Amino acid sequence: MKEFGLFEKKLGLSFKNKDLLLQAFVHRSYLNENPDFRLEQNERLEFLGDAVLELVITEHLYKEYPKEDEGQLTNWRAALVNSKMLTQVAEELGFNDFLLLSRGETKELGKARQYILANTFEALIGATYLDAGYEPCDRFIKKHLLARLPEIIASKSYKDAKSHFQEEAQEKAGVTPMYKVVKEWGPDHKKKFTVTVSLREEQVAEGEGYSKQEAEEEAAKSALLVKKWN
C-alpha cells in the first residue's frame, strides 16, 4: 500500500486520523475483491465532501463577487465543481497513485477513471472535514480549485453546452429545455445514464454519461449540433 506521508505534504493537509485519508481512496470495487479490508468504501465521504465543496465555492463567490447575479455565480460554480475539472485537479495532484481499485477497474481508463477520480476528490474533502473541520477544506479548495477561477472567467469556459443550449433555446424558441433520464444501467459503482433533451414536445437529442449531469451535458452538445446553434 502506498505511503501517504509525502502525498499529504503535496496536498497541504495533515491528517490526525490516517484511516480517514485512506478511506477516501477506497473504491467500491476494491472491497469486492478484498472483503476483509478494515475500512469502508468512500461513497459516504464523497456524499459529505460534495456538500462541503459546494458550500466553500458558493461562499467564496458570494463574498468576492458582490456585483454578479445569481445566474453568473451559478455558471462559475458549475465550471469549478464539474467532474472534468475535479478530475483534472486530482490527476495533477497524483490521485491515481493512491486509488484502491479492483484489478479490473485498475485497467479501466477514460471516462470511467475520470468519474472515479472526481468522486475521490470529493471524498477527500469529506475526510478532511471530518478530521479537521471547515478551515482546512476551505484552504485546500481555494488553493487547488478556486485558483483556477480567473482563467475560467477569462476564457469563458464556464459556458458549458447545457448553459449555451438553454440561452439559445430561450432566445430562438422562447422555451427552456427539459431533460429526462430515459435509461440507466450497469453496476452501482459504474452506472451509466441516457438522458433526452426536449423543447416542448420536440425531442431534440440524447446523451450518455456516468452521471446524470454528464449525460445532460452530452445531450446538450448533440442538441446544439442538431439545431445548428453552435
Q: Which residues are identified as catalytic?
A: 50, 122
The residues, any chain, with a CB within 8 Å of residue 201's CB and separated by 6 or more, are: none
* ∠ CA 97-144-147, rounded to 5°: 150
* DSSP state, residue 16: S
Cα–Cα distance measured from residue 79 to residue 86, given in angstroms and rounded to the nearest whole number: 10
The residues, any chain, with a CB within 8 Å of residue 206's CB and separated by 6 or more, are: 182, 194, 195, 196, 197, 219, 222
Cα–Cα distance measured from residue 128 to residue 202, given in angstroms and rounded to the nearest whole number: 46
CB atoms within 10 A of CB 205: 20
Name which of 125, 149, 161 is nearest 65 in CA terms: 149
C-alpha cell at 97: 497513485
